[in-house]
Structure 1
Amino acid sequence: MKPEIPVQSVPLNRQMITISVMLATVIQTLDSTIANVALPHMQGSLSASADQITWVLTSYIVAAAIATPLTGWMCDRFTQKRVFLASVAGFTIASLLCGVSLSLGEIVVARLLQGMFGAALVPLSQAVLLEINPPAKRGSAMAMWGMGVMVGPILGPSLGGWLTDSYDWRWVFFINLPIGAMAFYGIWRYIRPTKATRLMRFDVFGFATLSLAIGALQMLLDRGQDNDWLNSLETWIELVIFVVAAAYFIVHTLFTPAQQAFVDFRLLKNGNFITGLMFIFIVGAVLYAVRALTPPMLQTLMDYPVMAAGLLMAPSGVGTMVSMLLVGRLVGKVDSRLLLFSGFSITAVSLWAMSGYTLTLSQSDILWPGVVQGFGLGLVFVPLSTVTFSTLEPAMFAQGTALYSLVRNIGSSIGISLVQTLWVRNTQVAHSSLAETLSATNRAIQLQDTAGYQLGSTAGLAALNGEVTRQAAMIAYLDDFKLMLGLTLLVLPLLWLIKPKKTKLSPEEEAALHAAMD
């Protein structure tokens, strides 16, 4: 089958387009984690409680989750370039509003806007790179895109900590302004204008039910631990809304013609795409769950300052970049299933090492598993992105990439909520188990008394209880790392569900495609 060659009169500057869309990707992915370390500073500045300040994170996550599925319809209605420009401009202006906010209400509204406008940036950047590159070069393109998606969340805490300590928490938002301006100019200047196809009708009922389902799920996952899960009326309300809205959406979409439904179910008939969604869900859960666990472990149990903990996490991004540069050259030449198997296996090795952590870790003990894990996830991300979209029609890229990003984000939310819940409960279980072994006749307790705990005093007993709590918390962290290890190993047999598509073109087809694109 001969490739479909677009006819365009405007010269294509692939390099500048790549730089521009990557800048847009970086500001969005950075903001998923960069504000986390600044929350205590925001809390004091905005006179908010510890519970209230978390809305700075929740509002962004919920808004982005709800707006992401709109990407495909908006591109169909207004063209990809216009949606991209509006998203970058809106995200940049919302970042400015976040930085100048003087109250909790102002910054929550600004973060809602930031999430709404930023939702399309990652799927659109992926769709653009898929479209401007011939099949033989899409592996390298996905490597570049993957670096922005994966390195952003990794570097976010380090950069956020440095900006907050050196300047002010407002700079975690102001840093987006110059990057957003450069991205806007590049997209406006170099991406070719197209005509809106307007083939998709806006499915109001489908969008409303999907938005309710996603919003309720995100709220449930974000606030479930604080609300003690099903012991809270709020959690039950969110769970009921999610189940009912999701059921209505599925039934409605199944009985709606493909071009009239909000989500085109033809996507879900593509085997590679479905398998890709399943794997990116796992990648999202493992990547973000581990990122959520490690910094608090270093800070609370090993007394690392925020900045130092962030710097210890940063080298994993180096491993990711190295592996993506390498695998971008291998995609199309090596069976994608072999690359994915290698990536998941290497990630499993790093998680195995982390499951053996102790409270007396050296910096090298923390660094090398992070670098290895970054390398493994980089090997997974590029071939997975390439294979997922290898059998999709170009016209379905925008909606497909939006769904791909949505599933990755839901995976990360579920992963983070799961490990945090298990950590709290396993800490309590481990504390009870350790406490049962403590008695006055226990030789270890007698040694602790001679070591300065003074167990005959209230202060001594409190110090001993603090040490038991510390040990119990470490056991709970290890249990979470073992869970991530098991999850990673369980997906390995499923790799054979993927059917790699040959992308080798004839010399005539390759020459014609390059001539048209260049």
Structure 2
Amino acid sequence: MAHPPLQGRSRTLVTLALSLATFMQVLDTTIANVAIPTIAGDLGASTSQGTWVITSFGVANAIAVPITGWLAKKLGEVRLFLIATIGFVLSSLLCGIAPSLELLILFRVLQGALAGPMIPLSQSLLLQSYPPEKRAIAMALWTMTIIVAPIFGPILGGWLSDNWHWSWIFFINVPVGVVAAWLSWRELRHRETTILQLPIDKLGLTLLVLGVGCLQMMLDRGKELDWFHSGEIMLYGVVALLSLSYLVVWELTDKHPVIDLSLFRDRNFTVGVISVSVGFMLYFGAIVLMPLLMQTQMGFTATEAGLATAPVGILPVLLSPVIGKNAQRLDMRWVVTVSFLVFALCFWWRAVTFNPDMTFADVVWPQFVQGIALAGFFMPLTTITLSNMKPQQLASASSLSNFLRTLAGSVGASLTTWQWEHREGIHHVQLTDRISLYDDSTRQTLAGMQQLGLSQEQAAALLTRDISRQGLFIGANEIFWLAAGLFLLLTGLVWLARPPKAAAGAAPVVDAGH
């Protein structure tokens, strides 16, 4: 049953409630990034293990997205949104009081799964609350929330970790979520959507959870267990391969697939999904890597790391409304091309400037300029992806696109941190080979350290630490070079799409982490 649009105060309160919930969920995807070294240290884990706090949330979030449509029809959109929001608040509380990394990861999985329905449902409920002629304004307000949250996330996460305790990056969700849930219940409980009893693809869902879960476990644990020299990693790999392979076969034949793979027959959908997934994988890997690099190798506090990375959100606030307003007149392939070229420029910029002696400004300026790329990334690629979809395909297409993008972000975080440590090991060996007690420059360096009051052992330890530091910077720069090259390749891929026309009702779903 369609409800009439809301008016006046009720519409304002609903907009506030849905925006708060969206802000809270997007904030949570970025607030933890700068706190990873602090969390890992406090819980007695390595920094690489600390990144599981991010990847576990992302994988659970990705898996929850495809089943949101089915759950919304079975429970009703309002009821599901309230369950997800209250559950998100409770799981945030559990994350904050987690006494070990294992329990924190378990609660982050729960939090990520509950967060899955929040963005698409907040968008849907908001559009239902406005008359058609004012829905563009509603989506502009909603999108600004999505864009602004990543500016505050790193700063707030860093400040809370430095001045209070990392637990507060999760506790902060509690008052925000309670207000959002209460206002939503008060204003929307009489506007429940039609409830339908639809079948669900149980086997497909089981294969999806098993395949994606084992794939992420393989990526997260592989770097510690020497990859396929470990029986555990072999098991994860085999289960992931068999589950995902059978999932593809099953979903192509099932009448009610949890993932509609037939959508890939459309060229624009395929090009758009590949572009947004690969692009987000590279981008998200970098925003996990950079705070680690700054805090572990440059002596930045969590607050300073947050302030250095936050400027990426400034230009999208200014440019996104302009792009949205002119969407009908722009060929989105050109907008995305500019975005990919700016991404490539910024990664190249980092590759040639990031070194142990770089300053705060050396980090900030590429981040600031990268905001141009972000403004032309999410919404234009969503437009390309959904441009040929029929109205009845939009929900499935949007869910599948967001599932693959979110999953790609988690994979990117795992692969980036693994490669960073792997390349450091290679460069450590190469740099150490050049050092010998029989080499004049080595002896002079050690003698100079000893003249400054260091013992021979202290001088050797300092030299070893400096070699590791150099290796980590070289490894990071190699990742930046690779990302720059891949973004250049993506500029060619996007032109395989046909000139897109904005799909009706295809408002950009930019569940960020950006």
Relative to the length of structure 2, the TM-score reads 0.85
Q: How does 1:302-313 map to 2 (within 5 A)?
A: 302-313=298-309
Shift of 1:481: 0.5
Q: How does 1:176-215 map to 2 (within 5 A)?
A: 176-188=173-185, 189=187, 193=191, 195-196=193-194, 198=196, 200-215=198-213
Counterpart code for 2:286: V
In structure 2, the partner of 1:83 is: 80
CA contact (8 A) 1:122 1:149 kept: no
CA deviations on 1:70-96 (whole Å, 9 max, x unpaired) are 112112323333322221122122223
In structure 2, the partner of 1:475 is: 474
CA contact (8 A) 2:339 2:372 kept: yes
CA contact (8 A) 1:12 1:191 kept: no
Match of 1:116 among 113, 123, 131: 113
Counterpart code for 1:471: Q
Question: Counterpart of 2:377 in 1: which secondary structure?
Answer: helix
Q: How does 1:49-198 map to 2 (within 5 A)?
A: 50=46, 56-57=53-54, 59-101=56-98, 107-127=104-124, 148-149=145-146, 152-153=149-150, 155-188=152-185, 189=187, 193=191, 195-196=193-194, 198=196
Q: 1:98 to 1:220 in 2, by over 3 A?
A: same
Task: Indicate yes or no: 2:460 matched with 1:461.
Answer: yes
CA contact (8 A) 1:140 1:325 kept: no
Q: 1:34 to 1:7 in 2, by over 3 A?
A: closer
CA contact (8 A) 2:383 2:502 kept: no
Question: Counterpart of 1:430 in 2: which secondary structure?
Answer: helix
Counterpart code for 2:4: S
Shift of 1:290: 0.9
Match of 1:407 among 404, 414, 418: 404
CA deviations on 1:337-385 (whole Å, 9 max, x unpaired) are 1111111111111111101122221222211101111221222122112
| Greater alpha carbon shift after TM alignment, 173-182 vs 245-254 | 173-182
| Greater alpha carbon shift after TM alignment, 357-366 vs 431-440 | 431-440
| Greater alpha carbon shift after TM alignment, 201-210 vs 298-307 | 298-307
Question: Counterpart of 1:314 in 2: which secondary structure?
Answer: helix
Question: Counterpart of 2:367 in 1: which secondary structure?
Answer: helix
Q: 1:318 to 1:390 in 2, by over 3 A?
A: same
**Partners of 2:341 and 2:103 in 1: CA distance:** 46
Task: Indicate yes or no: 2:216 matched with 1:221.
Answer: no
Question: Counterpart of 1:356 in 2: which secondary structure?
Answer: helix
**Partners of 2:499 and 2:294 in 1: CA distance:** 41
In structure 1, the partner of 2:507 is: none
Q: 1:468 to 1:210 in 2, by over 3 A?
A: same
Q: How does 1:118-517 map to 2 (within 5 A)?
A: 118-127=115-124, 148-149=145-146, 152-153=149-150, 155-188=152-185, 189=187, 193=191, 195-196=193-194, 198=196, 200-257=198-255, 260-357=256-353, 358-440=355-437, 442=439, 444-445=441-442, 447-449=444-446, 451-452=448-449, 457-502=456-501
Shift of 1:502: 3.7
| Greater alpha carbon shift after TM alignment, 310-319 vs 131-140 | 131-140
Shift of 1:469: 1.9
Q: 1:10 to 1:176 in 2, by over 3 A?
A: same
**Partners of 1:503 and 1:110 in 2: CA distance:** 39
Shift of 1:127: 5.0
In structure 2, the partner of 1:511 is: none
Shift of 1:475: 0.9
Shift of 1:162: 1.3
In structure 2, the partner of 1:9 is: 4
Long gaps (5+) in structure 1: 1-5, 506-518
Counterpart code for 1:241: V
Shift of 1:192: 8.6
| Greater alpha carbon shift after TM alignment, 110-119 vs 53-62 | 53-62
**Partners of 1:280 and 1:85 in 2: CA distance:** 30
CA deviations on 1:210-233 (whole Å, 9 max, x unpaired) are 111111112122222222222222
Counterpart code for 1:11: L
**Partners of 2:52 and 2:416 in 1: CA distance:** 20
Shift of 1:7: 6.2
Counterpart code for 1:391: N
Q: 1:195 to 1:364 in 2, by over 3 A?
A: closer
Shift of 1:238: 1.0
| Greater alpha carbon shift after TM alignment, 144-153 vs 75-84 | 144-153
Question: Counterpart of 1:361 in 2: which secondary structure?
Answer: coil
**Partners of 1:425 and 1:301 in 2: CA distance:** 16
Counterpart code for 1:306: A
Counterpart code for 1:350: C
CA contact (8 A) 1:29 1:153 kept: yes
**Partners of 1:91 and 1:133 in 2: CA distance:** 26
Relative to the length of structure 1, the TM-score reads 0.84
Match of 1:32 among 29, 32, 35: 29
Q: 1:244 to 1:91 in 2, by over 3 A?
A: same
Counterpart code for 2:487: T
CA deviations on 1:255-298 (whole Å, 9 max, x unpaired) are 122xx222234433333322221112122212211111111211
Shift of 1:458: 3.0
| Greater alpha carbon shift after TM alignment, 189-198 vs 425-434 | 189-198
Question: Counterpart of 2:31 in 1: which secondary structure?
Answer: coil
CA deviations on 1:304-332 (whole Å, 9 max, x unpaired) are 12221111111112133233233222322
Counterpart code for 1:285: M
Question: Counterpart of 1:263 in 2: which secondary structure?
Answer: coil
Identical aligned residues as a percent: 34
Long gaps (5+) in structure 2: 505-514
**Partners of 2:327 and 2:125 in 1: CA distance:** 19
Q: Pairwise CA RMSD of aligned residues?
A: 3.4
Q: 1:77 to 1:18 in 2, by over 3 A?
A: same
| Greater alpha carbon shift after TM alignment, 284-293 vs 58-67 | 58-67
Q: 1:141 to 1:375 in 2, by over 3 A?
A: farther
Q: 1:164 to 1:298 in 2, by over 3 A?
A: closer
Q: Which runs of 4+ in 1 moved over 6 A?
A: 12-15, 51-55, 129-143
CA contact (8 A) 1:34 1:159 kept: yes
| Greater alpha carbon shift after TM alignment, 365-374 vs 494-503 | 494-503
Counterpart code for 2:414: S
Question: Counterpart of 1:406 in 2: which secondary structure?
Answer: helix
Shift of 1:125: 3.8
Shift of 1:164: 2.8
| Number of equivalenced pairs | 497
CA contact (8 A) 2:159 2:302 kept: no
